[in-house]
């Protein structure tokens, strides 16, 4: 694991229910948990996290199945990679660190874990920020040809019979570079050290399989949980900040705030001058908006 970009952050491994979660911490003040997306690790926050440590205790983790966190075996229902299971990991990590209530910021897949965390454990989440996503259920309900082309990886990665694992496993570095390169629009270039870390972690066949299980869960068990919440009228009670890339698929195809208003009581946010990888492409703007939001 590289220590160059986050050298001032302490590192530890926390075991939660038998799964090791890779954790970094730094700073002082109210706690905020930052969750990464696909196909990355906690290193996506290497610009933003240090800026938040002046006012907050910042916790960075690798989601289960990603980075240097554990990659437990899955099952036919994909339950070990349901966002409910992934969110519980994060709750228990924060409890282990001594935090019963905290803010959560999630990009991409991490935003979906954060969404589930806020629904399942409302007493723990004081504020929620979601970066460049609309809710999973909303995305599937509004899927069309544009969605199929722009988000083809949702269907490819969810395919069975080991097909995506086999194909990605032939050249993981190409997959990482191609996915990230296709979703970057101006702004700050990707850091070579960070990208090398993503490639290192994703070159593990177990990580490729686990990440596919993440997407399989999203298309099955996660939707069942989301439907149950919708039927029961459960909504996010914590204040929500939504940030998205003006040039991203999300920014070009959705009314993002309207989508989140269907799932949360209090929402605000705006587009930033970037594509999908908001914390890396627009780090100063991202840090600024998070600092303002978390200060309230």
Q: Which residues are catalytic?
A: 108, 276
Contacts of 197 (CB under 8 A, 6+ apart): 1, 2, 41, 43
CA distance 25 to 31: 10
Question: What DSSP element (H or E) covers 106?
Answer: strand 102-107
DSSP string, 181-219: HTT--SSSPPPHHHHHHHHHHHTSHHHHHHHHHHHHHHT
Give me the phi and psi of 119, to 5 degrees please: -80, -45
CB-based contact 34:108 (threshold 8 Å): no
CB-based contact 103:59 (threshold 8 Å): no
CA distance 59 to 84: 20
Bond prior to 39 in cis (omega within 30° of 0): yes
CA distance 163 to 212: 10
CB-based contact 106:114 (threshold 8 Å): yes
Q: Strand runs (DSSP E) across 147-287, as ranges?
A: 240-245, 267-272
- Beta-bridged to residue 22, according to DSSP, are 13
Q: What is the maximal distance between C-alpha atoms in the chain?
A: 48
Among candidate residues 121, 156, 114, 120, the one with its CA nearest the CA of residue 136: 114
């Amino acid at each position: 694991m590289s220590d160059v970009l986050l050298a001032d952050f302490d590192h530890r491994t926390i075991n939660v229910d038998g799964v090791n979660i890779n954790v970094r911490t730094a700073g002082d003040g109210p706690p905020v948990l930052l969750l990464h997306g696909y196909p990355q690790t906690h290193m996506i926050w290497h610009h933003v996290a240090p800026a938040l440590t002046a006012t907050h205790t910042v916790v960075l983790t690798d989601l289960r199945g990603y980075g240097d966190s554990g990659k437990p075996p899955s099952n036919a229902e994909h339950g070990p990679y349901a966002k409910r299971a992934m969110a519980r990991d994060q709750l228990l990590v924060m409890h282990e660190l001594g935090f019963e209530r905290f803010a959560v910021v999630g990009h991409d897949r991490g935003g979906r874990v954060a969404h589930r965390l806020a629904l399942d454990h409302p007493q723990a989440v004081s504020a929620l920020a979601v970066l460049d996503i609309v809710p999973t259920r909303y995305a599937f309900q509004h899927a069309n040809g544009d969605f199929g082309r722009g988000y083809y990886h949702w269907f490819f990665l969810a395919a069975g019979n080991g097909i995506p694992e086999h194909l990605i496993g032939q050249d993981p570095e190409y997959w990482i570079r191609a996915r990230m390169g296709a979703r970057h629009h101006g702004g700050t270039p990707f850091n070579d050290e960070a990208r090398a870390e993503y490639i290192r972690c994703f070159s593990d066949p177990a990580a490729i399989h686990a990440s596919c299980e993440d997407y399989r869960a999203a298309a099955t068990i996660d939707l069942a949980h989301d439907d149950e919440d919708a039927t029961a009228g459960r909504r996010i009670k914590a204040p929500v900040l939504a940030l998205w890339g003006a040039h991203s698929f999300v920014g070009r195809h959705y009314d993002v705030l309207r989508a989140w208003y269907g799932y949360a009581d209090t929402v605000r946010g705006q587009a930033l001058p970037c594509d999908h990888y908001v914390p890396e492409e627009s780090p100063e703007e991202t840090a600024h908006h998070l600092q303002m939001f978390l200060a309230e």
